[in-house]
Amino acid sequence: MAVLYSETRQDSYMQLTPLEPWIAHKIGLTGQQLDIKALQAWQLKKLNETLHLASQKSIFYRRHLQGFPNELGCLSDLQQLPLTSAADLRANPLAFVCVSQDEIARVVTLQTSGTSGLPKRLFFTTDDQELTTDFFGVGMETLTKPGDQILILLPVEKPGSVGDLLRQGLQCVQRTPIPYGPVRDPQDALMQIDRLRIECLVGSPSQVLGLAQRWEAGMHRPRSVLLSTDYVPQAILNTLENSWGCQVFNHYGTTEMGLGGGVDCEVRRGYHLREADLYFEMIDPSSGKLLPPGEYGEVVFTTLTRQGMPLIRYRMGDRSRFIPGQCPCGTQLKTLEHVSGRWEGFLTVGEQILRLSDLDEALFALPGLLDFKATLQGSPGQEELLIEAIWEHEVEDSNAARSLLLELPSLQSVDVRISHRYEPDYPGSLQKRIIHDLRHQLPL
């Protein structure tokens, strides 16, 4: 692919993200200039195709989207549709699948950190995987040159794993992938980097940091690094750049996104996104309302081209914002600021940690509970937890929820107040479970 330089760039050496001409080509434009109106028309068309597919073939979405418009007239109509949560996905992953089992090429099971939490399972067809491979190849053009040797420190063994798809993607753009896998012996990995004159590393922040810390002067050093799979603290970026003098790029991608979501351009102030395959929104995590560029909220995405298991308005729980204005690389694509933590992480109550998943585990053990909203308020040491519980039937034992919550160690010294609402026709479920008012305590 030819290298394009943007006419509007501020720095004459700043290269346009390779995602832009790639997306222009994907949506059928001739030439490499992206027309934003054409991209929006493509997104609307693909959103409607996804809505039709999901509401016809997915057991979950047939129910979840009932009573909502099944044809969008414009992109902003999407905000009328209900959100999908990780809890929905955990509850019954197979209910999301839109193809027959023999069309599924890969299943990824994600264990949750809690002991009793159900795992998330994601299903992909061969075509779904090829979309990701294609993105990985183009994304890597940002930080590598043809002929570069790239050491892959991500899991590579299983066909369709993140490292395997990256390997295939790199081959498509004439780079030389060296599959290595997660580092178990840092000295051995450093020896390979030195011996093979590796130009670029792809790995998780902690692993790459471990290598940089053990690197010794005189050894070959990589020119660029792509960090993936984790939230990246600025301290790690600084250490890598200082020890190796290399450029560090961030990738944003989760299994739910199909392993790849977006990648930094040379400006490295945020990710450009796979906008032909994924439609991103920013919502207020409390109200669910759409937020304008510049405002921090929770990342939500909808798959546009996935066949096996489309996701509609899936809540990532990640905190970020769209950076207003044009990226200095000159792209017309959106720029998503680097993710800076999770909205639904945990709250500190006195010396204890209260996780939203703890409340889930306690309250959803009660038969008939449809949803709840939790608000922790007050000052440190004098917290008060307000729970609004929504039931599908009249509450028989109004103290049951309170007793369960008081068993949680983090709520021992907290005043818990519960209000009950009988709402058999409650629209959707699991969408209002948010803790706010103490948002400043979240690890932002």
**3-class state of residue 260 by DSSP:** coil
> Contacts with Zn ion in 306-335 (CB under 5 A)?
327, 329, 331
Q: Which residue lies nearer to Zn ion by CB, 11 or 396?
A: 11
In whole angstroms, how close is the CB of 69 to Zn ion at the nearest point? 34
In whole angstroms, how close is the CB of 17 to Zn ion at the nearest point? 5
User: How many angstroms from the chain centroid is the CA of residue 161?
Assistant: 17
In whole angstroms, how close is the CB of 261 to Zn ion at the nearest point? 15
Q: Which residue lies nearer to Zn ion by CB, 10 or 171?
A: 10
In whole angstroms, how close is the CB of 340 to Zn ion at the nearest point? 19
Distance of alpha carbon 385 from alpha carbon 317, whole angstroms: 21
The CA angle 158-159-165, to the nearest 5 degrees, is: 110
Report in angstroms the alpha-carbon separations of 186 from 190, 191, 193, 207, 231: 6, 9, 11, 9, 22
Contact (Cβ atoms closer than 8 angstroms) between residue 154 and residue 166: yes
Q: Which residue lies nearer to Zn ion by CB, 294 or 409?
A: 294
Query: Should residue 23 be labelled a site residue for Zn ion when binding is judged by CB under 5 A?
Result: no
Query: Should residue 152 be labelled a site residue for Zn ion when binding is judged by CB under 5 A?
Result: no
> 230 exposed, middle or buried (CB, 10 Å; 0-12, 13-18, 19+)?
middle
Report in angstroms the alpha-carbon separations of 338 from 17, 232, 413, 443: 16, 8, 36, 15
> Contacts with Zn ion in 38-77 (CB under 5 A)?
none
Q: Which residue lies nearer to Zn ion by CB, 267 or 430?
A: 267
Query: Should residue 265 be labelled a site residue for Zn ion when binding is judged by CB under 5 A?
Result: yes
In whole angstroms, how close is the CB of 15 to Zn ion at the nearest point? 9
In whole angstroms, how close is the CB of 138 to Zn ion at the nearest point? 14
Task: Say how many residues touch Zn ion, by CB under 5 A.
Answer: 6
Q: Which residue lies nearer to Zn ion by CB, 85 or 142?
A: 142
Q: Which of the stretches 11-19, 204-212, 407-415, 425-433 binds Zn ion when contact is defined by CB under 5 A?
A: 11-19
Contact (Cβ atoms closer than 8 angstroms) between residue 24 and residue 2: no
In whole angstroms, how close is the CB of 293 to Zn ion at the nearest point? 15
Helix H segments across 155-282? 162-172, 186-195, 205-214, 234-244
In whole angstroms, how close is the CB of 268 to Zn ion at the nearest point? 8
Q: Mark residue 139 as left, alpha or beta (left: phi above 0; alpha: psi -120 to 50; beta: remaining).
A: alpha
Distance of alpha carbon 253 from alpha carbon 256, whole angstroms: 8
Q: Which residue lies nearer to Zn ion by CB, 303 or 331?
A: 331
Q: Which residue lies nearer to Zn ion by CB, 175 or 334?
A: 334
Among 27, 34, 267, 385, binds Zn ion (CB under 5 A): 267
Beta bridge partners of 395: none
Q: Which residue lies nearer to Zn ion by CB, 267 or 300?
A: 267
For 145, other C-beta atoms within 10 Å of its C-beta total 12
Q: Which of the stretches 28-36, 212-220, 246-254, 265-273 binds Zn ion when contact is defined by CB under 5 A?
A: 265-273
Q: Which residues bind Zn ion (CB under 5 A)?
A: 17, 265, 267, 327, 329, 331
